[in-house]
Structure 1
Amino acid sequence: MKFETAATVNPIDRMKVIGWPTERIDGPFKATGRASYAYEWHDVVPNQAYGYIVASAIAKGRINRLDVSRAKQAPGVIAVVTAENAGKLGKAQRNTATVLGGPEIEHYHQLIAVVVAETFEQARAAAGLVEVDYTREPGRFDLKAECDSATDPGKITGGKSDTTVGDFDRAYAAAPVTLDATYTTPDQSHMMMEPPSTIAAWDGGSLTVWTSHQMVDWARSDLATTFGMQKEKVRVVSPYVGGGFGAKLFLRADAVAAVLGARAAGRPVKVALPRPLSVNNTVHRPATIQRIRIGAEPGGKITAIAHESWSGDLPDGKADGAVHQTRLLYAGANRMTATRLATLNLPEGNAMRAPGEATGLMALEIAIDEMAEKLGLDPVEFRILNDTQIVPDSPSEASDDDPQAGAPTEGHESPERRFSQRHLVECLRLGAEKFGWNRRNPRPGQSREGDWLIGLGMAAAIRGNHMTKSAARVRLDRRGIVTVETDMTDIGTGSYTIIAQTAAEMMGVLLDKVVVRLGDSAFPVSAGSGGQWGANCSTSGVYAACVKLREAVAQKLGFNALDAVFEDGHVRSGGRSLPLVQAAGDGEIVAEDMVEFGGITEQYEQATFGAQFVEVAVDAYTGETRIRRMLSVCDCGRILNPTAARSQVIGGMTMGVGAALTEELAVDKRFGFFVNHDLAGYEVPVHADIPHQEVIFLGDGDPMSSPMKSKGVAELGICGVAAAVANAIYNATGVRVRDYPLTLDKLLPGLPAIS
């Protein structure tokens, strides 16, 4: 099925199953321990051995000598694999660093050996006997120190990543009111509960891995590339994933070590990354330095806006996309964004929940508040004043030859590209009303309850609504059971339930008549879980397969598929009604299809929007900050399951609080590693840190997004939250901190005057 024109009325619109707060069908399995995560497939293959990873103790340099002789002689040891005996390995397309290091070392804790033994304890003990002699080389570990050498990351692919619309320099110089401020965000870790884990088993020339991965087909392709195999010879199984947030998008050391270990040992091997390696040997959100300049008229209209960002990664790595939302969120005739990437020898920087927008909004939405204060405007009203339905900035609108191309003319906005749906103003107004924004004192430090200074803050939110093709297979059997098969993953997001709801709605049956099978590369290739595209795209793929199944059923029963109504377990048309199960009386009916996006989805800018509101209390003497209330208002198309969607949003809001107040990977700038690489030293919010969180969905379907008329929501929830907290702290204390996290040591110097 090709989705090229706006969705019209379809069976999903009945919303008899879709749109209801259905409890997760996989909940009982997870609550009772019957859901098998990657390390827990104890019985799928017999005689499983244990692998334990030896990781590099340096961040950059060479291995001079790697002695495994003592490890090989240790009790229970079956095999030890290093780069010397691993054979030739290909480099996975999506990985910046080489997974198996040696003799060259690219980052701290890089995999350099795996020890396989009969028990976990034996493997761990033997790994401690491996002796390694290194030559340490000077590395680059400080982003600020490397900013001057940073380059345009677009040049890696032969292009440019900067954008220009109008004449920013001229407009900024002429603006009566201006802001020029720099903000920093630190390195951050996903810290998902389940560490990256894999069981690998060879059967002749075929390989099966039970792994924790968000994108099954990506894992399959990268394993095939790494081990020089045909993709068809690799099977990946990942039905339950204990959190990922982007850390499990790419092939990591656990999978490679398990596969190498299984090949060397001649039996299945299981490997899990210890927590420190989960931090230093997967990906992380890279630190940024961001400069934002805004020029405006006295009445509040933005006339010039520029956003520049610096981040770092390994050679040939990726830059954080912190400037992307600034191209879309607010109007302004003269605009500039620039991205620079520095070479750092830290572990790989890459995707973490809402990559780009999460960090970019941490800076932009403080800058917008600062500008509103300069103008004497309410922060909500300032944002509303500069809203636009026209995409204000796109790389295609300008060029080096004609920087004015695509710029709005006086009194007119560019007709080139519009948003498919944008209800940001509605989010802002509704949020302000529900949160009691009118009770906020605009003068900082004026509201107090005993020793606590009280403040309200807010921020706008935006996150792209990405679409990617997704396929599914649907079966109807003689019992009337509808079975859905797709390699889509459930990373705690509720995929099982919304896919079941989609099939039930399309086929007109109750949820207990639907079976969902996920996370197996033997199934059709789905969109996978990432970029908040999973729900919309995977259910659209199921929709497409169900359309095919409806056609087959209608033909079998002698109905016109276009007129047939599927409901209450029956098919009805033209006064006739027959049980759905009757169509499968002669045997199972199987249908398979995929959704492919194009046409209208490419004509419009697809995005989700929101407004975040926060109330904080700050101790006037210690700087301790407590979150008291939170509200998120979301514009993200049709909500497929309000319970699951709310869960995703409040999870994002919680991560936003962590980003604002506590989360920071501390870099040892001498030796190039993250010091606080565990859950004791890397502080994430706990229950006591988070009050009641309210979520409001506007609920309008977007017919230009998909047949489901839905959009992503999982990453929108984090967007803007950290800035809303920062703005609330400023309102409470009058202390403006531009360097995250907003720890009390950064507040204390400004508090004595208030306290």
Structure 2
Amino acid sequence: METNFFEPTLPPTNVVGKPMDRVDGRAKVMGTARYSAEYPVNGLVHGVLKTSDIAKGKITSIDTTAAAKEPGVISIFTYQNIPKPAKVPSALKEEKKWQAAQSYLPMQDAEIHYAGEPVAVVVADTLERATQAAALIKVSYQVEKPIDSYQDPKADLFDPQKIQNGKTDGRKVRGNPEQAYASAPVKHEATYVHAINHHNPMEPAATTAVWEGSDRLTVYESTQNITMSQGSLANLLGIPRDQVRVVTHHLGGGFGCKGSFWPHTILTVLAARAVNRPLRLVLTRPQMYTSVGHREDQEQTLKIGATQEGKLLSLIHEKKSTTSPWDNYAESNSKVVNMLYACPNFSARYELARANVMTAVWMRAPGEAPGSFALESSMDDLAHQLNIDPLQFRLLNYADKDYSDKGKPWSSKSLKECYTRGAELFGWNKRNSKPGQTRRGNKLVGMGMATATYPVHSAQGTARVRLFADGHAVVQSGATDLGTGTWTVMTQVGADALGLPPEKVRFELGDTRLPTAPGSGGSQAAGTVSSSIMAAAEDLWKKVIDMAVGDKKSPLYKAKPTDVKVELGRMFLKKNPKKGETLVAALSRSGMTDMEGMAMGKYGAGYEEKHFAGAGGAAASPEEPGGKNEKGEEEKPSGHSMHSFGAHFCEVEVDPDLGTIRVTRWVGVHGVGQVLNLKTATSQLYGGAIFGIGSALMEETFRDPNYARYTNHNLAEYHIPVNADIPDMQIEFVPEKDPYINALGVKGIGEIGIVGVAAAVANAVYNATGKRMRSLPITPDKMLEALRTTA
């Protein structure tokens, strides 16, 4: 393979990895950071949704007479008069041109399929007037009895061929799990229930639609993926993609609910074109519960067979969950069950039931978070059954390769180091192995732990790097910043790539006019965008080197470009590092004002294939054999399996009189490759753990079984953790180099922080009380009932 002078290994760092303050922090504190509902637009009008009170039935009449008479009302749209899109999502889904979560678009006919479905859009000159008019609309229905969940007696469970809207097989078998389980000396079977969860970002979903004529559109959208939103709008409207611009400079959280495309956006765009005015529509907090997806209600049954010595023999995983009337979405819980530990036999099966709910959607670590709750709880149960320390039990079944993917070697794995460091920080050796024996005053005290993991999802993106002769640079990529620090970490990457101080680098994102990048979701943005910036920097380096070696005044004059190396913005001869100069110096001497580099960067398998396949690397000669093919022949795996890993350690206090559970200590240690910013990365892992603690102890949306309506669709009754619920936390990272995943060895961290958290809490509760809690959230009423029940 031809050797490139840019070596795909970790470069020496200057600001990458350091705990640099956020570059967007001042703008957010001063209020100058604009969110999607805050852009000043001339002639702006406001839209408000009127939503259905029923979950199933048909509209028999809509009376807009009183609403239309309200001052300032410009127009009221219903299914009877709203302009139709060029194509609806269901048609695009059949054409395989629809990647968003829900393939149903409301307000196309009189049918109602879920509570909170939009039935009208009111447009007025102020938000207050639009809100008042919407309240005056009277809708009559022919009501039918809805199905509320997979637990409804009328629900029909079915086996989907594919879940996650076609991305994952509905069944999977490796080895002979049923036979292995039947003959296993030690067996364990348990069922776990996970409540409906909603994302609840601080910023509600918002759309500001601005038309130029009838065929050129700018949308200020609260989305995690401007590229996906642009494509969805272009396909629905039937206009070229380059005539749709999507802007998202700042995002007030999303956690997955803003990672897809939802009906309110296209309804806003259609209404804006009809009234020929810029239109802004912001969802209310209750509408956030019925407009942008949720984590589905689900139950998992896990069977584990093992030897008397504790070696796993069989894992059988089954899941039931609720989906919408149109789409086969389910979190892929079985993936983490399949890959986390060494086990020769595995099977997975999913069952879905259609109900009168909107399509569920990915929510922080979709599949891995609920899947790890079942797996890691059962692992603790087996450890207790076999009288083995839970940490030692996990080490006994440590996977030295990915058994779920033909035995591929890991690109890097620091899980053992995470276990060791976490146990040391937490004081795991002080844990009493006998449940219910440790007290602190009148409180029962327990310790638990669990493993964390999240995959590297392959992605690619582009970036542009422009270096100016006066020593500053502009770095651009059409990424989004969820609020987690993309602005900052990509400034750091650009600074190191060009050898400039961060204050001399301006990173631009959040606009589809910039080079295309993937969305912020699936923990892929950091790895992809940083790789893209490095690739664009390499393109710039080549151009400056070519200029320098032809410049008589350059120390590199007449050198071969392949003999020149670049580190932190300085070009020098590989054999004589003292002979060289900076990129800025060469550019300044040339008389040019600036020079630009642009390139595509790859993250995950695509990067490995580009840099290692056929080059004698691990991708070409894997260390471990894989499984067997259809002919029974041994197969060699290609490439590496790519995951982040970590470990959570938790202490809880349980009040036996009140049933309350308080997390009193927390330690998390993770191996995530190159950390781009120690401060923002630590904050991410804090947030993930807090997110998981909320899921474990309090987060639950209630859907009325008779009316299929949410009864606690607000932050007063949907409980999330506050400061008083969370103890001081210790978060650390173990050093880890991974040359196979991208140019900097960066693994994403947005999801891994929540994986295993609920199980760590439940395991600590079991150690404190001797009661195994298998239904999330573990609320005081459930805890009291368990404590009063004799095992």
TM bracket (short chain): over 0.9
Percent identical pairs in the alignment equals: 36
Other-structure match for 1:234: 244
**Structure 2 residue identity aligned to 1:37:** Y
Deviations 1:513-572, CA, capped at 9 Å, x for gaps? 100111000001112200011111111111111111111222233355544455676544
Aligned equivalent of 1:183, options 152, 176, 192? 192
Aligned equivalent of 1:150, options 158, 165, 171? 158
Distance in 1 of aligned mates of 2:365 and 2:672: 15
Summarize the Cα distance change of 1:208–1:753 in structure 2 as closer, same or farther, 3 Å threshold.
Answer: closer
Aligned equivalent of 2:668, options 632, 639, 646? 632
Aligned equivalent of 1:63, options 51, 59, 62? 59
CA shift, 1:85, in A, is 2.1
CA shift, 1:144, in A, is 2.2
8 Å Cα contact 1:153/1:319 also seen in 2 = no
8 Å Cα contact 1:176/1:297 also seen in 2 = yes
Counting matched residue pairs gives 730
Q: Secondary structure at the match of 1:262?
A: helix
TM-score (norm 2): 0.89
Distance in 1 of aligned mates of 2:654 and 2:432: 16
Aligned equivalent of 1:109, options 116, 128, 132? 116
Distance in 1 of aligned mates of 2:779 and 2:532: 45
Distance in 2 of aligned mates of 1:352 and 1:159: 16
Distance in 2 of aligned mates of 1:581 and 1:730: 64
8 Å Cα contact 1:80/1:261 also seen in 2 = no
8 Å Cα contact 1:280/1:673 also seen in 2 = no
Distance in 1 of aligned mates of 2:789 and 2:219: 61
Distance in 2 of aligned mates of 1:159 and 1:641: 33
Other-structure match for 1:524: 515
Other-structure match for 1:454: 445
8 Å Cα contact 1:151/1:342 also seen in 2 = no
Other-structure match for 1:276: 286
8 Å Cα contact 1:5/1:704 also seen in 2 = no
Aligned equivalent of 1:500, options 475, 488, 491? 491
**Structure 2 residue identity aligned to 1:256:** I
Distance in 2 of aligned mates of 1:9 and 1:124: 56
Deviations 1:575-616, CA, capped at 9 Å, x for gaps? 243560551632332221111325268721111111111000
Other-structure match for 1:354: 365
Distance in 1 of aligned mates of 2:533 and 2:167: 38
Other-structure match for 1:290: 300
CA shift, 1:249, in A, is 1.1
Summarize the Cα distance change of 1:753–1:121 in structure 2 as closer, same or farther, 3 Å threshold.
Answer: closer
Other-structure match for 1:198: 207
Q: Secondary structure at the match of 2:731?
A: strand
8 Å Cα contact 1:296/1:303 also seen in 2 = yes
Distance in 2 of aligned mates of 1:752 and 1:80: 57
Q: Secondary structure at the match of 2:37?
A: helix
**Structure 2 residue identity aligned to 1:341:** L
Distance in 2 of aligned mates of 1:55 and 1:630: 42
Q: Secondary structure at the match of 2:538?
A: helix
Other-structure match for 2:473: 482
Other-structure match for 1:405: none
Matched, 1:612 2:659: no
Distance in 2 of aligned mates of 1:418 and 1:159: 22
**Structure 1 residue identity aligned to 2:159:** T
| Structure 1 residues 60-139: aligned runs within 5 Å | 60-89=56-85, 90-92=87-89, 93=98, 94-101=100-107, 102-139=109-146
Deviations 1:630-658, CA, capped at 9 Å, x for gaps? 11111111111111111111100001100
Other-structure match for 1:212: 222
Q: Secondary structure at the match of 1:537?
A: helix
8 Å Cα contact 2:148/2:355 also seen in 1 = yes
Q: Secondary structure at the match of 2:162?
A: helix
Matched, 1:375 2:386: yes
Aligned equivalent of 1:431, options 422, 425, 441? 422
| Structure 1 residues 474-623: aligned runs within 5 Å | 474-558=465-549, 559=556, 561-564=561-564, 571-573=571-573, 575-577=579-581, 580=584, 582-583=586-587, 585-596=591-602, 597=606, 599=609, 603-623=639-659
Distance in 2 of aligned mates of 1:487 and 1:110: 32
Question: 5+ residue gaps in structure 1?
Answer: 398-415
**Structure 2 residue identity aligned to 1:583:** L
Other-structure match for 1:307: 317
Q: Secondary structure at the match of 1:668?
A: coil
Aligned-residue CA RMSD (Å): 2.3
Q: Secondary structure at the match of 1:115?
A: strand
8 Å Cα contact 2:479/2:519 also seen in 1 = yes
CA shift, 1:160, in A, is 4.2
Q: Secondary structure at the match of 1:171?
A: helix
**Structure 2 residue identity aligned to 1:592:** M
Summarize the Cα distance change of 1:740–1:568 in structure 2 as closer, same or farther, 3 Å threshold.
Answer: closer
Summarize the Cα distance change of 1:157–1:194 in structure 2 as closer, same or farther, 3 Å threshold.
Answer: closer
CA shift, 1:69, in A, is 3.0
Distance in 2 of aligned mates of 1:582 and 1:111: 60
**Structure 2 residue identity aligned to 1:40:** E
Aligned equivalent of 2:374, options 363, 372, 378? 363
CA shift, 1:424, in A, is 1.9
**Structure 2 residue identity aligned to 1:108:** A
**Structure 2 residue identity aligned to 1:35:** A
CA shift, 1:255, in A, is 2.0
Question: 5+ residue gaps in structure 2?
Answer: 90-97, 550-555, 613-618, 620-637
